[in-house]
Structure 1
Amino acid sequence: MIKTCVSMGLVALPLMACTDLNTTPRQSLTPEVAFNDVSGYQSVANSMYNRATSFSYYGQTMMIAPEILADNLRLVANTGRYQGEEANGDRDHIAIWNGVVYGGINDANLIIETIDDETVSGEEQEKSFIKGDAHFMRALFYFDLCRVYGYEPGREVNGFNLGPILRLQPTLVASDADFRTRSTVEEVYEQIERDLLAAIPLVGAVPIGSEGVYYANTGAALTLLARLYLYWGRMEDAEAAATSAMNLLGLRTNGDGLLEAGQYVQGFSRAPHPESLFELELRQVDWSSVDGVNNSLNSLVSDNEPAAQFIIGASNELMAAYETGDVRRECWRETTREGIEGPVYASRKWTGYKGDFLENLPIIRAPELYLIRAEARYQNNPQGAREDINALRSKRGLGAIDNLLSGEALLNRILLERRLEFALEGHRFFDLKRNGRDISKHADFLEVPYTDYRILANLPLSQIQLNENLEQNPGY
């Protein structure tokens, strides 16, 4: 079958990048095989997961870019990579409006739309799980598109409220293609909520850090739902979803269920990560012989391999934010780099522990639940918020925070804990943005005001030219 790329509703030249429409066969499957047997649908699901591990998505971009766009990372070698993002240059942002993310959405759409057909053979339980898996992954894909390309509801600048194009039916052939306008972020959030609520009863619960976290599961879906509500400003719902997930997973109010302080650093060299709720598994067969050294997280941010590029380290401001005794600081190793005065800091989170720069990607970890719930509580239940923060800190080698901390100071403390806990896991820029804050920077780089157009990523020019109904983000 010939690969045909279509973009924003029009057939494009075969050599152009596919974006929000995909008509490619999945891993050389014919539609007859894919649509008649549950094993074919599992192959489509595998395609969906393979896309998520792409270097232009969670394999690199979604972990590094949100950190260096803000104040957690700095360049320690000049190779031309991430220079624009460090300086927040025009059109130097997070580029996920592409065939990887929209292709994953199309994979999910194909599963959801057709797997229940009575002509599809296979166990109903297996079919239900694959369908739930697709609902979860579609929610994740759309959530990321919203936070990269749109403002959170209630945080719009000059009333601009558009998000991604919303497609819920698969594009199987070029004739399915149609022009579409962008949906509002609120509309897409509503669909993400529906997808996660659909996934929760279908995927089933698995223990934290078990091999079940390599797929969608109830705990991960509840956590992503809680995160969605936090971004949405629905604090009571965020607290309720986080509490449900914590109860399901056995996470206690004293922090039990999380790693002990002495195990924290080692946890990032185990598969699955002992605190993982959802983790993308990578194997050697998923990479070419040069992928690791050229594009892996391990090569770019660590120096434990002689051939590693090691071009990105922790900012001095991030290192200064750690308290004495915080085991999270041990996720950085002090070293030197030619051409850089003073110490630089290499990551010990991304260590390539599987060999040849390879490692799994923990996407959702259990400590996020404590910090989601703390943020959801900070205004109406500051004591509960402080208890959640202290529960996490007790597992990171730290004592309790000030028992009188409240209001804006308490929110600042929560955001600081998120900064330290999830450094190099792709949260920092979004945590500032969703709270309507200016984007703080390291060293002499100027902060980016929240009202600046560079808060949102630009849509690819080729897509704007192809689809006259597609509105570019303001300022580009």
Structure 2
Amino acid sequence: MKNYKFIYVLIGLTFFLSSCEEWLQVEPRQSIDSATALSSQEAITAATNGVYARFRSVALYGRDFLAIPELLADNAFNTGAGNRLVGQFNNQPGSHMGNWGTAYFTINQINLILRALQEVELPVEFRNRIRGEVLFLRALLYHDLARVYAYDPTADIPGVNVGGVPIVTQGTLTVAEVEYPARNTVDEVYTFIYNDLEESLGLMQNFNMNRRPFFVTRGAVAALFSRVALYRGDYARAIEMSEIAMASGVANFPADPVSGWRTQVQPESFFEIVFTTQDNIGANESLRATFMSRVFLNDAVAASHGNVVFTDELAAAFPDEDLRRDLIQRGLAVNSGVFEINKFASKNGVPNLDNVPVIRYSEAITNKAEAHYHLGQFDLALTELNKLRVRAGLEALEGITGPQILDEILLEKRREFAFEGHRFFDLKRLGRDIIKPTGNVEHSDFRILANIPNREIETNPSLVQNRGY
């Protein structure tokens, strides 16, 4: 079995060194052979672009990290069209997120870039920028792995917690370099992510306004840091990083909550996954195909699928005066009786093609609001929360205190980030049960965590599988 694993790794690494379409794209040259890969500034730039491209994967932000958390929680209903993601909607054992392989393959690519930055003679500014970018991307990958496969620091279950995820820092190019690491503790994983983000924040000091949100900026690093700190229960740091992000100028807060979803680039994006025509996921697995039965916003002819739609409960959570109701519309044909989200409506002018915001300005606001709540700073929490409410056409909240504030923050997040992949992870990190007609899933249920792929467990004797699988 281990020989098979070695072959799998070498095939993957051969692709890493030689692909001319996804991994080593660079202009004007389109490929770099394995003899010169990662030995020049041009090659390292191409390799870094290839890392960004990995995030377009269906298993990452091409679909799953936005659609599946809505299905696992109580936001989305699955119509069954196309027979896709039905198991996730029903919370069937083993039907969960599946980012392990893609994430670790990309982490290996990042680690090889980090090695090259140490070994190749390069301009200091270039070295610092690339290092800052890939450290951010590695932190994002590790946090997403931790969210899926491990309990959160704020909602641990000590009796069944078997750890976080393995931390791998050395890139692998040969069979001799292959290692079989055990799972690090949750705290070790978060400390590692913190270290990557802190270094990235310093390195990206001078890389902000001159770059679009398709690339890492200091504002993006601070925004992700605020998310990670909230998950860790480090609330003072979450506030600090939210403020740095909002002051960075990378993203802004439009006067209405709908217009940003109609522009090619979402103005709220601190970090956004860009999709070009050749990156089109297509009519079966794209976000448009998953969420809508129309090809474009106002199409009158039904397209395929649109299988992930609003639950009645979520649709009812939007008051009549909420401006964000413009992001909700009835489906077509068999979906005429359900509500669909139209945030991803082929807005780039090509069917099934939309950029994907990963971290938005509104999240920095809600991170800050919730952190203030946990610190007992209720007035400050309400001030932040009301920024979203007032923009959405709702009245500002006054005179509430204690746990009611947290409930309102979670309700506002549910509305603001509908079908952006937050709901399941918010319930999980707060230790809350998932209440849904198909069957409740208590936080103590083993299905809260994903199963590590069996091939990894069979190959690596140091890995411990999550409970129940």
TM-score (norm 2): 0.90
CA distance in 2, matches of 1:108, 1:23: 14
State the alpha-carbon separation in 2 of the partners of residues 328 and 77 from structure 1.
26
Q: Aligned partners of 2:442 and 2:115: how far apart in 1?
A: 42
- 1:357-379 CA distances to partner (integer Å, 9 max, x unpaired)? 11101111001111001100114
Equivalent position of 2:167 in the other structure: 166
| CA distance in 2 between partners of 1:22 and 1:221 (Å) | 31
Q: Give the direction of change, closer, same or farther, for the CA distance of 1:77–1:11 in structure 2 (3 Å limit).
A: closer
Letter of the aligned partner of 1:473 in structure 2? N
Output the amino acid matched with 1:325: E
Match of 1:277, SS state, is strand
Q: CA deviation at 1:159?
A: 5.1
Shift in Å, 1:16: 8.6
Q: Is 1:350 the counterpart of 2:358 in the alignment?
A: no
Counterparts of 1:75 and 1:211, CA distance in 2: 38
In structure 1, the residue matched to 2:28 is none
Change (3 A) 1:34 1:233: same
Deviation at 1:409, TM superposition (A): 1.0
Aligned pair partner of 1:300 in 290, 304, 314: 290
- Residue 33 of structure 1: SS of its match in structure 2? coil
Rate the CA distance shift 1:18–1:271 in 2: closer, same or farther, 3 A.
farther
Match in the other structure for 1:181: 182
- The verdict on how the C-alpha distance between 1:34 and 1:424 changes in structure 2, with shifts beyond 3 A counting, is same
Alpha carbons of 1:259 and 1:319: their partners in 2 closer, same or farther (altered >3 Å)? same
Identity score, percent? 32
The 1:83–1:250 alpha-carbon spacing in structure 2 relative to 1, beyond 3 Å, is: closer
How many angstroms does 1:213 deviate by? 0.8
Match of 2:40 among 26, 37, 43: 37
Q: Secondary structure at the match of 2:161?
A: coil
What is the alpha-carbon distance in structure 1 between the residues aligned to residue 10 and residue 284 of structure 2?
Answer: 21
Relative to structure 1, the CA distance from residue 307 to residue 336 in structure 2 (aligned partners, 3 Å threshold; closer, same or farther) is: closer
Q: 2: CA distance between counterparts of 1:241 and 1:55?
A: 29
Contact 1:337 1:344 in 2 (8 A): no
Find the counterpart in structure 2 of residue 3 from structure 1.
none
CA distance in structure 2 between the aligned counterparts of 1:32 and 1:470, rounded to whole angstroms: 34
Matched, 1:102 2:104: yes
**SS across alignment from 2:270:** strand
Partner of 1:367: 362
The residue identity in structure 2 corresponding to 1:450 is: H
Q: CA 1:298 to 1:272, structure 2 compared with 1: closer, same or farther past 3 Å?
A: same
Spell out, residue by residue over 1:334-374, the C-alpha distance to the aligned partner (whole angstroms, 9 max, x if none): 23542x7x721122101112202111011110011110011
> What does residue 258 of structure 1 align with?
253
Deviations 1:445-466 (A, max 9, x none): 1120000000100111121111
User: Which residue of the partner structure matches residue 25 of structure 1?
Assistant: 17
Contact 1:453–1:474, Cα closer than 8 Å, also in 2:
yes
The one of 438, 441, 444 aligned to 1:448 = 441
8 Å CA contact 1:74, 1:314 repeated in 2:
yes
User: How far apart, CA to CA, are the structure 2 residues paired with 1:362 and 1:298?
Assistant: 14
Q: Following TM superposition, by how much is the alpha carbon of 1:25 offset from its aligned partner in structure 2, in angstroms? A: 1.4
Q: Structure 1 residues 36, 250: closer, same or farther in 2, change over 3 A?
A: closer
Contact 1:22 1:106 in 2 (8 A): no
Please name the residue that 1:425 is paired with: 420
How many residues matched?
448
In 1: Cα distance, 2:429 partner to 2:372 partner: 16
| Alignment match of 2:115 (pick from 110, 113, 116) | 113
d(CA) in 2 for partners of 1:277, 1:408: 30
- In structure 2, relative to structure 1, the CA distance for the partners of 1:72 and 1:337 (3 Å cut) is farther
Name the TM-score, length of structure 1 as normaliser: 0.89
Tell me what 1:274 maps to: 267
- CA 1:313–1:211 in 2, change beyond 3 Å: closer, same or farther? farther
Q: CA 1:172/1:17 → structure 2, altered by over 3 Å: closer, same or farther?
A: closer
* Residue-by-residue CA offset, 1:215-274 (whole Å, 9 max, x unaligned): 1111110111111110001111111221222233398xxxxx41112xx32311322111
1:314 aligns with 2:310: yes
Q: CA deviation at 1:440?
A: 2.6
